[in-house]
Chains A and B, each alone.
Chain A
Amino acid sequence: MADDVRMETKDLTVYYGKHPGVKNVSLPIYDREITALIGPSGCGKTTFLRALNRMHDLNPIVRVEGKVLLDGEDIYDPSVDPVLIRRRVGMVFQRPTPFPTMNIFENVVAGLRLVGVKDREELRRAAERALKMAALWDEVKDRLHQPAVGLSGGQQQRLSIARALAVEPEVLLMDEPTSALDPVSTQAIEDLLTRLKENVTIVIVTHNMQQAARVSDRTAFFLDGELIEFGRTEEIFTKPKDPRTEAYITGRFG
């Protein structure tokens, strides 16, 4: 149901060495909604996002404190396997990253191959489903075995989305997914997001406020590593409660 909480952070603090990039953030992510994270550069929104699928594990100088709950369980608990978490919480990055040595089909099913899915029929069905969800199927269905790097930037990003969707994650994290794309591709991706949220909970970081306003159900405003305000998108953008939120929204900084 749309008001259930899918993920939640409790006093999440992320240190880069000594410096905290995210400070004591407690934020709920509601099931099958699009939650946008906005704020000026360096406010910690991307750092926060990466904590949600334990991407910071890869960086030895980063330390995470606090809890991140997925369906009620802390993903940072020592008994929890990060590999499993990342299947349930997928990620799409700012720049499209097709695997250049694989063709389109191989790219989409890369995640499925990891868990050992070998049956060609099963893979083909999954690829078709994921590509349709990413609004890319019609454009590539006749050239699935061509190199993925031959696609345009917007297509490559939708390919990355399809690749992330193929493993059927519960949550999809998106780190400024359209900032490197042209307006047409951006529009295409924003459109598919609205359809996607019927099945997937989405958290999107964006520096483009208009995008946040167009696309998201709820919005969180970050500043200097802190969560300043969080609420339904219309309220944030029309009746912000915090003066700093209002200043950012009206373009006075950032």
Chain B
Amino acid sequence: MNLKRRYLRDRLMQLLVYLGTLVVLVPLFFILYYVFVQGIGALNWEFFTRPPAPPGEEGGGMLPAIVGSLIVDTLALLFAAVFGIAAGILLAEYPDHPLNPVLRLVADVMAGLPAILMGLVAFVLVVQPMGHFSGLSGSVALALIMVPIIIRTTEGVLKLIPWEITEAGLALGLPRWRVILSLVLPAARGGIVTGLMLALARGAGEAAPLIFTAFGNPFLTFNPLEPMDTLPLKLYVYAISPYEDWHRQAWGAALLLAAAIMVTNYLARRAMRS
């Protein structure tokens, strides 16, 4: 009967959807499992506190890369936050401004550009004039990647703030700029911070734009004007090296990165839901 055939098709498609979903999820568990099992052994005290050993020698750690990640990523977030939040405010609070169509198009398109291109731009604009690699140039590259994310999330959360809040502020006689700074932005604070966290998570995982900007540095330094190492960069270099001990440490770095991103994502989701 025709109805039987329709139900058969319904069941078949349901099965295919389940299978397809498994195809997506099984590799995830596969990857997470390997990263955990291979990496957990490498995350010891030495990993976090020692600089790398010379090639071929066992031991050593990733202290410079961890510190470098923190510095380069934070600096990048600072740059990106200033520009990104401002642009988000313009799009959300001044919707009639003539710059908006251009700004929105720029933000949308920038979001989809390959990260390595930002590295090229930072190379030409920062590394070449300075004459050497630097953590700063890496921050510039990462900031270019982070800005579109921050613009999008800031605009999104500001638009959710009810107009009544702005109205109430204006009714009290406050100028527009006070209303935005003292009423609207604080109300949106959670969402903006979430956006910053998501941008940070994204930047923290990037290696391609840093290959020829921050470049890497086996020695610990806190000076962003010097070449700096980051976790993803170190991961890459170690992974393609011929040394087993470096492979072990690469898994450790992978676990650290994956864990940090998992936590950030979870926090961001929790924040978004409330």
The interface of chain A, by Cβ under 8 A from chain B, is: 81, 83-84, 114-116
B21 within 8 A of partner (CB): no
B2 within 8 A of partner (CB): yes
Chain B, residue nearest A81 (CB): B3
Chain B, residue nearest A115 (CB): B2
Chain B, residue nearest A87 (CB): B3
Question: Can you list 7 residue pairs at the A/B interface with Cβ under 8 Å?
Answer: A81-B3, A83-B3, A83-B6, A84-B3, A114-B6, A115-B2, A116-B2
Interface of B is mostly: helix
Find chain A residues with CB under 8 A from B6 CB: 83, 114
For the complex, what is the distance from the CA of A116 to the CA of B3, rounded to whole Å?
10
Distance of A169 from chain B, by nearest CB (Å): 16
Chain A, residue nearest B5 (CB): A116
Distance of B6 from chain A, by nearest CB (Å): 8
Find chain B residues with CB under 8 A from A81 CB: 3
Distance of A115 from chain B, by nearest CB (Å): 6
For the complex, what is the distance from the CA of A84 to the CA of B4, rounded to whole Å?
12
Find chain A residues with CB under 8 A from B2 CB: 115-116
Find chain A residues with CB under 8 A from B3 CB: 81, 83-84
Binary A-proximity of B52-82 (CB < 8 A = 1, otherwise 0)? 0000000000000000000000000000000
Find chain B residues with CB under 8 A from A83 CB: 3, 6
Nearest 7 CB-CB pairs, A to B?
A116-B2, A115-B2, A81-B3, A83-B3, A84-B3, A83-B6, A114-B6
Distance of A58 from chain B, by nearest CB (Å): 14
For the complex, what is the distance from the CA of A81 to the CA of B7, rounded to whole Å?
11
**A-contacting residues, B1-42, CB 8 Å:** 2-3, 6
Distance of A67 from chain B, by nearest CB (Å): 23
For the complex, what is the distance from the CA of A96 to the CA of B6, rounded to whole Å?
27
Find chain B residues with CB under 8 A from A114 CB: 6
Chain B, residue nearest A116 (CB): B2
Distance of B138 from chain A, by nearest CB (Å): 47
Distance of A81 from chain B, by nearest CB (Å): 7
For the complex, what is the distance from the CA of A84 to the CA of B3, rounded to whole Å?
9
Distance of B83 from chain A, by nearest CB (Å): 39
For the complex, what is the distance from the CA of A212 to the CA of B216, rounded to whole Å?
78
Find chain B residues with CB under 8 A from A84 CB: 3
Distance of A78 from chain B, by nearest CB (Å): 15
Distance of B154 from chain A, by nearest CB (Å): 32
Distance of A127 from chain B, by nearest CB (Å): 20
Binary A-proximity of B242-266 (CB < 8 A = 1, otherwise 0)? 0000000000000000000000000
For the complex, what is the distance from the CA of A113 to the CA of B223, rounded to whole Å?
70
Distance of B92 from chain A, by nearest CB (Å): 29
For the complex, what is the distance from the CA of A81 to the CA of B2, rounded to whole Å?
13
Chain B, residue nearest A83 (CB): B3
Chain A, residue nearest B10 (CB): A83
For the complex, what is the distance from the CA of A248 to the CA of B6, rounded to whole Å?
47
For the complex, what is the distance from the CA of A114 to the CA of B6, rounded to whole Å?
9
For the complex, what is the distance from the CA of A115 to the CA of B3, rounded to whole Å?
8
Find chain B residues with CB under 8 A from A116 CB: 2
Binary A-proximity of B150-179 (CB < 8 A = 1, otherwise 0)? 000000000000000000000000000000
Distance of B11 from chain A, by nearest CB (Å): 13
For the complex, what is the distance from the CA of A115 to the CA of B6, rounded to whole Å?
9
For the complex, what is the distance from the CA of A116 to the CA of B9, rounded to whole Å?
13
For the complex, what is the distance from the CA of A81 to the CA of B3, rounded to whole Å?
10
For the complex, what is the distance from the CA of A80 to the CA of B3, rounded to whole Å?
13
Distance of A117 from chain B, by nearest CB (Å): 10
Distance of B59 from chain A, by nearest CB (Å): 56
